[in-house]
């Protein structure tokens, strides 16, 4: 038997590849199928099942595409209602793969169909659980995503999750290994550990959600400080329930070189959004007017989902040379399939065409220190917990995730400073503000990490672990 965790950092997502004898299963696969097909061919094994722990909200799965290419059956837990052919397993149903078995444990709460897959090895020993979004390391899945479909409140779903954990997970042996669907950085939880594998026994000791004295306490603590889910989540769920284009089709459609004139035409006539995926250091020096900057070398896909929201939005790419296919791949993972092409030759081709160029006023932390005074307006676009830990005195808390709410309140005639932790999120914010005609600001290079090294007055530091949000 072989178990391999295939972890994708930008999504904080874990897929799993399990082999026994000449048969294999894949749990929660990503959109692109070729890596899995290559692995199957290398190992000379047949894919028997594709297990889905639930209908994912934060990424689009490749289950349908993979099933068509391999003949493997798709398996969901009880109550699932996909628009494609699949096995809807019963609670405690057992599937055989080579000499091992996988037992379906129905664990609703995160979603109604959410299931945990219990692995039984060749010797008949319960060895591991693939817990999906039911149980994370350090946390549990957020219980506020299935409200409409389940006709239940977050409190009711949290109560259901508590019962699932107590009846199905907690009785399992301490030496069982936990393989979750997500790790730290995912918006599917709020308190996840940086580790991606742990024993169930250790989680029973350290996971706050598993150490609540009763259901009422569990519900209160799990829901406390839970930020609203990104708006693209519902669209991803719909895509995972229905039929979607194959990844091959998405790549063929989007991987097209475009001239500067082509880009202008698509923006004007197709309503395309220009997504510039270069790093902030390059973007601020020059970009196509009204471009949105979300750097590929960061939490790219989640921020695309949070900022653009509509997965059907037509997109034209400006990317570093040679990264175009990677950008399209990572966009497809969160359902953004309407890429119309990329600017051939990168931004240099636009610059060489002598078309209009825009810039962002980026200043050094030292220059910020010189310009700063008690009347300065400072917008901090980090998360609430980061702001509460430490911030520039009198800075306004303006999380990037809520930019649509606060951008309209800005006085365009009043200058302000803009920063995040390191410059990635603040450049996203800067590009969005620029596109809306808000230009009277200075974005601070290096963000708060560098501001801390200056004499600009700051609040008293409070450890983030002590902030219950």
pLDDT 10s digits, 443-466: 999 999 999 999 999 998 765 443
What is the average pLDDT value for the chain, to the nearest integer? 94
What is the reported pLDDT for 388? 94
- All CATH 3.40.250.10 domain ranges of the chain, comma separated, are 245-352, 362-466
In the predicted structure, residue 274 carries a pLDDT above the cut 60: yes
- Token output for 143: 């219980």
CATH class of 2-235: alpha beta
What is the reported pLDDT for 469? 36
**Phi and psi at residue 431, to the nearest 5°:** -65, -40
Q: For residue 339, what pLDDT band results from cuts at 50, 70 and 90?
A: very high
What is the reported pLDDT for 462? 65
Q: Tokens 């719909």 correspond to what residue?
A: 238
What is the distance between the alpha carbons of residues 93 and 107, in angstroms, rounded to a whole number?
13
- All CATH 3.60.15.10 domain ranges of the chain, comma separated, are 2-235
Please name the CATH architecture into which domain 362-466 falls.
3-Layer(aba) Sandwich (3.40)
- The tens digit of pLDDT for each residue in 208-230 reads 999 999 999 999 999 998 888 88
Predicted TM-score (pTM) of this structure: 0.89
In the predicted structure, residue 367 carries a pLDDT above the cut 90: yes
- The tens digit of pLDDT for each residue in 422-439 reads 999 999 999 999 999 999
What is the distance between the alpha carbons of residues 111 and 213, in angstroms, rounded to a whole number?
23
**Residue 370: other Cβ atoms inside 10 A:** 11
CATH no. of 245-352: 3.40.250.10
User: CB of 417 within 8 A of CB of 454?
Assistant: no
| Torsion sign (Cα): 22, 23, 27, 30 | positive
């Amino acid at each position: 038997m072989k178990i391999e965790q295939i972890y994708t950092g930008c999504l904080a997502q874990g897929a799993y590849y399990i082999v026994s004898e000449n048969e294999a299963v894949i749990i929660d696969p990503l959109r692109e199928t070729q890596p899995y097909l290559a692995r199957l061919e290398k190992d000379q094994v047949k894919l028997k099942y594709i297990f889905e722990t639930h209908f994912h909200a934060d990424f689009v799965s490749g289950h349908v595409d993979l099933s068509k290419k391999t003949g493997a059956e798709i398996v969901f837990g009880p109550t699932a209602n996909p628009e494609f052919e699949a096995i809807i397993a019963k609670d405690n149903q057992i599937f055989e793969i080579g000499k091992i078995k996988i037992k379906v444990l129905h664990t609703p709460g995160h979603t109604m169909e959410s299931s945990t897959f219990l692995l039984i090895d060749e010797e008949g020993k319960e060895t591991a659980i693939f817990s999906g979004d039911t149980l994370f390391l350090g946390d549990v899945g957020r219980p506020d995503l299935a409200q409409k479909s389940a006709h239940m409140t977050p409190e009711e779903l949290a109560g259901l999750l508590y019962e699932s954990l107590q009846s199905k997970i907690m009785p399992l042996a301490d030496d069982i290994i936990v393989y979750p669907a997500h790790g730290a950085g995912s918006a599917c939880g709020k308190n996840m550990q940086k580790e991606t594998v742990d024993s169930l026994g250790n989680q029973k000791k350290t996971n706050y959600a598993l150490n609540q004295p009763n259901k009422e306490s569990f519900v209160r603590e799990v829901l406390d400080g839970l930020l609203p889910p990104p708006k693209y989540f519902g669209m991803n769920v719909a895509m995972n329930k229905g039929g979607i284009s194959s990844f091959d089709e998405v790549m063929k459609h989007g991987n097209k070189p475009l001239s500067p004139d082509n880009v202008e035409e698509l923006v004007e006539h197709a309503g395309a959004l220009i997504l510039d995926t270069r790093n902030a250091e390059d973007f601020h020096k020059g970009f196509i007017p009204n471009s949105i900057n979300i750097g590929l070398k960061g939490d790219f896909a989640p921020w695309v989902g949070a900022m653009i929201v509509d997965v059907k939005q037509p997109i034209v790419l400006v990317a570093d040379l040679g990264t175009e296919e990677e950008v399209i791949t990572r966009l497809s993972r969160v359902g953004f399939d309407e890429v119309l092409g990329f600017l051939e030759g990168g931004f240099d081709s636009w610059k060489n065409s002598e078309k209009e160029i825009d810039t962002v006023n980026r200043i050094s932390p030292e220059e910020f220190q010189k310009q700063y005074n008690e009347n300065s307006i400072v917008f901090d676009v980090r998360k609430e917990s980061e702001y509460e830990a430490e911030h520039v005195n009198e800075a306004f808390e303006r999380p990037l995730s809520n930019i649509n709410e606060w951008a309209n309140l800005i006085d365009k005639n009043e200058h302000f400073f803009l920063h995040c932790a390191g410059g990635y999120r603040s450049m996203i914010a800067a590009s969005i503000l620029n596109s809306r005609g808000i230009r009277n600001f200075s974005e601070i290079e290096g963000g708060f990490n560098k501001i801390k090294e200056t004499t600009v007055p700051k609040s008293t530091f409070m450890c983030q672990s002590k902030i219950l949000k």
